[in-house]
Amino acid sequence: MSSYQGSDIFQFAIRMEENGEKFYNYAASIAKDAKAREIFTRLASEEVKHRKLFAEMFSKIDTIMPKESYPGEYMAYLQASIDGKAVFTTGATKELAGINDVIAALDFAIQRELDSVLYYSEMKKYVTASAQDLLEQVIEEERKHVVILTNIKKTF
């Protein structure tokens, strides 16, 4: 039996998009170049769009919450799981401290998007067929970000 529900993975996706938006806003704030600032601001907006898309997908999944010791325990666990990973966590101050230019920010973002694709690809085997189809849509959105970031990096 799976320890993850399809709904769990979409909760993760929503959380990662929130963290991605925060990272891109941070990257925009440190960018000295106006074009770079514009790119990171646009990517932060993309994360908001993705979060809304994933929330819509989440609404199509039946949610089953496990028994909790206290109200909100399970969601707190899910959020801590994502925040503890290297997928766009703004709390990762050690990693963010090394991001002081556009190329470093792009490299960081590309790696985190690739991590997301890998994570979701692995999670597909733990969910139902209908959730797999929705999860494939999430993977495609993340792959698009990899392509966008890689193309932007070529211009710098």
Q: Which residue has the higher pLDDT, 130 or 104?
A: 104
Residue 64 lies in a domain: yes
The domain tally of the chain equals 1
Place of tokens 């960081």: 108
- Per-residue pLDDT at 110: 92
Domain range for 117: 6-155
Residue 106 lies in a domain: yes
- Whole-number Å distance between alpha carbons of 33 and 140: 30
What the block records as the tokens of 105 is 């920010």
**CATH of residue 118:** 1.20.1260.10
pLDDT band with cut points at 50, 70 and 90 for residue 2: very low
Longest dimension (CA), the chain: 52
Residue 129 lies in a domain: yes
Residues 6+ apart with CB under 8 A from 22: 88, 90
Is the pLDDT at 138 greater than 90? The verdict is no
> What is the per-residue pLDDT across 8-45, written as a single tens digit (0 to 9) for each?
767 777 888 888 898 889 889 888 888 888 988 998 99
> What is the per-residue pLDDT across 54-65, written as a single tens digit (0 to 9) for each?
788 777 765 555
Residue 19 lies in a domain: yes
In the chain, what percentage of residues exceed pLDDT 90?
Answer: 10
Residue 1 lies in a domain: no
Question: 6 and 131 in contact (C-beta within 8 Å)?
Answer: yes
How distant, in Å, are the alpha carbons of 73, 124, 140 from that of 109? 30, 23, 16
> What is the per-residue pLDDT across 73-110, written as a single tens digit (0 to 9) for each?
766 766 666 555 544 554 555 666 678 788 888 998 89
Residue 114 lies in a domain: yes
